[in-house]
Structure 1
């Protein structure tokens, strides 16, 4: 270790009776060590850095050949570093920048259940300061969690985990299955869409519409229904899909000329290096280049945009083929719009030509159940129960011949609620 700190040379002496030369060196009070015989005429040995001049003095006039095989030690390493100081400085700066970039957030991954808008959630996180480019140690999990839970009611809990330069946000949604409205069997039936009433099957509740009535989405159809005996309301509904396309297509033909422009992206910010593009018409092709070191991806990206000069050519498309294409597209659109339970009664096809545009219209007349459950709250249920328990002259009528109030519908509903609450408490315990 001491020799490595001071520095030493590995020498090779070559000649007949090379041992005599080593004996001569030792008599000259020069310290040698790690002596190895390579062949009959070659011997390898080590000598301290400061004794090399003495070796040169003993070598003069001798019949042996001495070569320096290796220079080892800190002094030689420092000399090499000084010789390539620009490269070493660049390496140190690059290492510093690499360590610096690992202290900033590059990507944010959000895991949220269905029903919570991820875009809105990401915007709220950015308002709290959690976004690409932010310093990791400035992330305050408590402030972000409190803000998100206050702004978005559906969020029950939010966890933030920082791993490397990535942040993982996990959302837990509130469980709303045990609310008072969800436990209720009483509901109103409203229209899920516009239509003309065909048939009303009121298995429970009171119908407020009749055959031939025109209803709009959200209108009340049956009041005071029960989910255990669901009513049905069938209506004639109409669906329409309009598809437009020009029968004169403009095609781009490359002329062979092109230019490149570069855009640097660093932590979401773009710096454009744009050349003067004097082409009248052109198309752009982009290629993104990323800088990686193992599994680590640097936040710096280079986007190479190639501008190709083109000439525009107008070509007229076969109108019959275009009609068939628009027809199939409209039917496919209607297929996704209509529910599977709807019965198609009539289909009407129309097309119009306006200037260079071809418009294809498909209208479908269908018959379907438009009933939609609207759950009632406790106050609305109590009101319905009171109205059902009154006679024509306004006096309360028990729901059983023995006139026992405990068997009244309202009391039964309250008893069912108490049983459900007791069951929930038992399960939680």
Structure 2
């Protein structure tokens, strides 16, 4: 069937409306005369919509006379009709030709260069070296010599161990792999374990360092929980001096989170129906040519516009632009909820806000839900309070 539809589009076909006392006889006689009909649809009493190839229309006129039926062409589809439309609008045809030739011409140049894998060197540094080897925006693709570019980049940037230059259409991707360097950790990696949030300490497990808080202590963000500077004395009577270490451990604490949600018993607004429509416009200079039908089938809609412009070459900017206008249909809605339904909706909103705050590794100990009384009876307010037990320690170097 796809092949049949494709061939029909190439040679042209029409959608006709058949009317008469006996449209079935029209169909049977047409088929008997070797006319190919498809997508036959009844749209009312003694009325049919039928698709037929353009070459068979003359035969159908004879069939209509014999069966006392009439038919009208509702829509013309296919390459022949598209050609006639373009022929009538020569400026649009010229614009399309210019557009295609412009694309072909500009596709032979490099317009975009992307650098990947670089960490130590900036993209600007890599692109600067690549430009010296002949890789830059606006250069002809056939003038590029990827192997030479790769060699120059490796010679000028010694921390890069491998380079790959790949041409993908009008884009060139420079892939780099840098040598692995072992970074010296700050101050021999001395660190404290500090609190990353407010809570009440429940358990402390010290792996390295010295605990400076106890169970049931209330701590705040940034407060030291396990110190990386435990004091040691050299001998009896001598003053204690700090011994710097990388503190490690687990500090479990009770932490509280809350979320708020609300819902109206009556809601009004607009929402998407799921239906869309698209308009395509070819702009040449100051003239706009519509490629498809211009009507907007919606009374309420949201409009989204995207533009595709040919990249400029040196000081020349091609005066060709493709504009796509997409329309999303909107409809008004009004919903009425029971008080219990509104509570459930507000509770879901509140829980969604709480859930975003709670870490995955945290364990929920207790959860409380509270309905907040207010002046507006048509508005339901819900607050959720959640208590968790979690590790609040965070290693911080010094």
Structures share a fold, TM > 0.5? Answer: no
Range of TM-score over shorter length: 0.3 to 0.5
TM-score by length of 2: 0.45
TM-score by length of 1: 0.42
Query: Radius of gyration: which is bigger?
Result: 1
Structure with greater helix share of residues: 1
* More contact order relative to length (CA 8 Å, sep ≥ 6): 2
